Amino acid sequence: MTRITAWRRHPLARYAVLILALALVGTVYATFVQVSRPADAALAAGKVDDVAEGKSLFEAHCSSCHGLNAQGTATGPTLIGVGAAAVDFQMSTGRMPASDPGAQVPRKPLPDWVKKNPDAIRQISAYVQSLGGGPQVPGKEQVDPKLGDAAKGGELFRANCIQCHNWAGAGGALTRGKYAPNLNEATPEQIYEAMVTGPQAMPVFNDSTITPEEKRNMIAYITQVREQKDPGGFGLGRIGPVTEGLVVWIVGILALVLASIWITAKKRQKS
Amino acid sequence: MTDNEHEIEQPDERVPKRVIGTPAPGTSLLGDQPEAAAAATAGGETPGVTLQDEQKARKAERIVSLCFLITFAAGIAFLIFYVILPVGSPEATGLSNLALGGTLTLAVLGLAVGIVVWVRQIMPKYSLVQDRHDMVSAKEDRAVVAETFLQGANESGFVKRKMLRRTLLLGAAPLGLIPLILLRDLDNNDMPASQFHNELRHTVWGEKTKEGKNLRLVVEGTGQPIRAADFNSPGGILSVVPEGYEHDLTVLAKATLILIKFRPEEIKSGTNKNWTHDGIVAYSKICTHVGCPAALYEQTTHHILCPCHQSTFDAADGAKVIFGPAARPLPQLPISVDDQGYLIAQGDFAVPVGPSFWERGDAEAAVRAKGGQA
């Protein structure tokens, strides 16, 4: 007892208590912040900043077509309720901001202001998400092709996707200048986002009918097929009988014609 | 000529003057070159034949030998590749195919090129002149044929002996009828033709499950039934098959559907709204032109495009044809939900799905006459 009393009266005791108290507060705060960060609560300070930053970026780069409050104009649709996934898809593929109106907005390199500011897409996504909800950007694990079952995904892909995108994801033509793009450049995130948001003419495949797990299987199929080598030699764009027929007619038959000309040509005789 | 081997005496007129298709006796294959022929014969050479320059021929000989050596090497390489290359995995098989096909191609090509060079550069050149013979046979040939035919006809008694002729024709008649009867049953469904016609008109969507309930719509590829409340994103599309027939290709060839979700205000008058549920419409996936799977759907324009011949259907307006060779809209399947909220078929399609067939008639008019119900 006397020993404890002696420690308490030690001249350094007050500093020790102060340090202990600070450490305790710090630890509690740190644990609290660590728990609350993945919980994606709106009160997290960073998120509010993202929305504010995103709003100013949106007003600078997007509002001329989509309206100052993303309500849509004659040249651009409303973005209320499209969700962060739609913004991430359109901007990360370079489709938005669109350069000129046409039948379809093509994939293109990112504009400089997006390249210089790696947070820009996330911030605009956060702003659009805050307007009316909608599909979220998927997590890394949610789209990891390694975790998917390519065989099961292939079944779904063949039933629902190949009519436009071709069995190997090579894409194809649609009506009046529109087309289904090839899937070779699309990242797993972009494939997922395209399915849940239905960009441009593409239909929507929402998570309640095609579950996120089934989507991951399809992503596994798409990435596996595009990495496959062509066992028969040249893939010819893998777009099927059209190119194959073209090559047979132009190259094959031309070769046959030239060979028969050579075999049967009459040699000029001297005299 | 061979006829004479039998030592039967033939009238002089029956003996052919010459074999048809060969030059008349006395004409030369080398054409009329009396002076050149005479000169060549004088020089000890065959007329019309030019020998190759010996120096060039020797050069060509080396080229030809090189080609044959390539053939030899490629043939040996083929055997070696055949023995050493494994064919376990698709990649290994691909490599093996490439090696075997490549060497075999090289071998045959070397042989072919060598032979062509041989013929062109080493063998002597002929200048042959061969006149075309007349299209019409000679008058006497035709007379002989006609005479022979009539003589044969008379000798056979076909004209004179009526009973023979009539029984022969009678015997041949069923043989002629057989293909007609066989054609009628040219299908592989082991069913009489009447039932086959029925098959063309109906799909399994009209059937009931063992419990007597209507068939559910399930997702093609996963077999999951679809809750109407889950298929709730406008612009959505799904390829759908009947419950219980997920892998029966004969059934799916007719019964596969595309299921499209609209905002209710997007649906136009061409669509039968009694056959939809909460903006969800089901159409046959089988194109009415020649039966390709038509499912290239654009959610912005509501176009369904068939990839085979570019028939385009307006999904919002009863899938009516707006472009292309298809003559009729894609049939709409009446759908509804069961007590658990899953999408079910109300019954079969009102009209036959897929391309036209002879007995189809105006199936749409027949449905209208019955009050428009399936």
pLDDT 10s digits, A91-124 = 999 888 887 777 888 888 888 888 888 888 888 9
Q: What global pTM score does this model have?
A: 0.66
At B111, the pLDDT band (50, 70, 90 cuts) reads very high
- Cα separation, B125 vs B121, in Å, equals 9
A103 touches chain B (CB under 8 A): no
Segment B273-298 shows an average pLDDT of: 92
- What integer pLDDT is reported at residue B39 of this predicted model? 47
A180 touches chain B (CB under 8 A): yes
Antiparallel, parallel or unpaired: β B296-298 and B280-284? unpaired
Is the pLDDT at A36 greater than 70? The verdict is no
- Chain B residue numbers with beta carbons less than 8 Å from the beta carbon of A224 are none
Q: Are B281 and B318 in contact (CB under 8 A)?
A: no
- Cα separation, B180 vs B175, in Å, equals 10
Does the distance separating the beta carbons of A231 and B93 come in below 8 Å?
yes
Please name the member of B226, B229, B296 whose beta carbon is closest to the beta carbon of A164: B296
Q: Cis before residue B264, ω within 30 degrees of 0?
A: no
- Chain B residue numbers with beta carbons less than 8 Å from the beta carbon of A174 are 296, 298, 303, 305
Segment B258-276 shows an average pLDDT of: 91
Does the distance separating the beta carbons of B127 and A209 come in below 8 Å?
no
- Cα separation, B27 vs B34, in Å, equals 12
- Residue B310 located in a structural domain: yes
- Cα separation, B232 vs A36, in Å, equals 32
| pLDDT greater at residue B141 or residue A228 | B141
Does the distance separating the beta carbons of A201 and B300 come in below 8 Å?
yes
Is the pLDDT at B344 greater than 60? The verdict is yes
Is the pLDDT at B168 greater than 90? The verdict is yes
- What integer pLDDT is reported at residue B366 of this predicted model? 83
Cα B75 to chain centroid distance, Å, stands at 35
B273: left (phi over 0), alpha (psi -120 to 50) or beta: alpha
| B interface test, pick of A160, A178, A256 with most B CB neighbours within 10 Å | A160
Is the pLDDT at B2 greater than 50? The verdict is no
Is the pLDDT at B311 greater than 90? The verdict is yes
Neighbouring CB atoms inside 10 A of A207's CB total 17
- Chain A residue numbers with beta carbons less than 8 Å from the beta carbon of B239 are 159-160
- Residue B47 located in a structural domain: no
- What integer pLDDT is reported at residue B90 of this predicted model? 77
| pLDDT greater at residue B26 or residue B130 | B130
Q: What is the mean pLDDT of chain A?
A: 84
- What integer pLDDT is reported at residue B43 of this predicted model? 46
Does the distance separating the beta carbons of B236 and A203 come in below 8 Å?
yes
- Cα separation, A203 vs B262, in Å, equals 11
Segment A159-180 shows an average pLDDT of: 87
Q: Can you tell me which residue has the tokens 């009828």?
A: B177
pLDDT digits (tens, 9 = 90+) for B75-106: 999 999 999 998 888 778 888 988 999 999 99
- Cα separation, B149 vs A136, in Å, equals 90
A267 touches chain B (CB under 8 A): yes
Least confident segment among A26-40, A100-114, A153-167, B166-180:
A26-40
Which of B81, B66, B150, B142 is CA-nearest to residue B111? B66
Q: Counting one residue from A and one from B, how many pairs have CB atoms under 8 Å apart? A: 106
Neighbouring CB atoms inside 10 A of A57's CB total 20
The first and second tokens of residue B180, run together, are 């007609």
- What integer pLDDT is reported at residue B50 of this predicted model? 80
Is the pLDDT at B17 greater than 80? The verdict is no
B234 touches chain A (CB under 8 A): yes
Please name the member of A160, A233, A262 whose beta carbon is closest to the beta carbon of B238: A160
Q: What is the mean pLDDT of chain B?
A: 84
- What integer pLDDT is reported at residue B298 of this predicted model? 92
Please name the member of B125, B227, B303 whose beta carbon is closest to the beta carbon of A175: B303
The matching CATH number, chosen from 1.10.760.10, 2.60.120.260, 1.10.3720.10, 3.40.50.1820, for A141-227 is 1.10.760.10
A241 touches chain B (CB under 8 A): no
At B374, the pLDDT band (50, 70, 90 cuts) reads very low
- What integer pLDDT is reported at residue B304 of this predicted model? 93
Total number of domains constituting chain B = 1
State the sign of the Cα–Cα–Cα–Cα dihedral A226, A230, A231, A232. Answer: positive
Predicted-complex ipTM score = 0.71
- What integer pLDDT is reported at residue B225 of this predicted model? 92
Residue A151, CA atoms < 13 Å, CB-side half-sphere: 0
Contacts (Cβ under 8 Å, ≥6 apart) of B117: B60, B63, B64, B67
Indicate the domain borders of chain A.
Answer: 45-132, 141-227
| B interface test, pick of A152, A158, A209 with most B CB neighbours within 10 Å | A209
- Cα separation, B297 vs A204, in Å, equals 10
The CATH homologous superfamily for domain A45-132 is Cytochrome c-like domain (1.10.760.10)
CATH number at residue B202: 2.102.10.10
Please name the member of B50, B93, B233 whose beta carbon is closest to the beta carbon of A206: B233
Q: Are B259 and B343 in contact (CB under 8 A)?
A: yes
Residue type, A220: A
pLDDT digits (tens, 9 = 90+) for A37-77: 444 444 444 566 888 888 888 888 888 888 888 888 888 88
Find the DSSP H helices in A62-105. 63-66, 83-92
| pLDDT greater at residue B129 or residue B27 | B129
| In chain B, residues 51-90 whose CB comes closer than 8 Å to chain A | 90
- What integer pLDDT is reported at residue B3 of this predicted model? 44
Closest-CA distance, A227 to chain B, in angstroms, reads 12
- Cα separation, A8 vs B292, in Å, equals 90
Please name the member of A178, A200, A214 whose beta carbon is closest to the beta carbon of B222: A214
The answer to whether domain A45-132 and domain A141-227 are alike in fold is yes
**How far apart, in Å, are the Cα atoms of A103 and each of A62, A173, B300, B301?**
20, 12, 11, 12
At residue A252, φ and ψ (nearest 5 deg) are -65, -55
Q: Can you tell me which residue has the tokens 């083929």?
A: B78
Nearest CA in chain A to B222: A156
- What integer pLDDT is reported at residue B353 of this predicted model? 92
Segment B229-233 shows an average pLDDT of: 89
Closest-CA distance, B210 to chain A, in angstroms, reads 26
- What integer pLDDT is reported at residue B12 of this predicted model? 53
Q: Give the domain range for residue B230.
A: 198-369
A240 touches chain B (CB under 8 A): no
At A132, the pLDDT band (50, 70, 90 cuts) reads confident
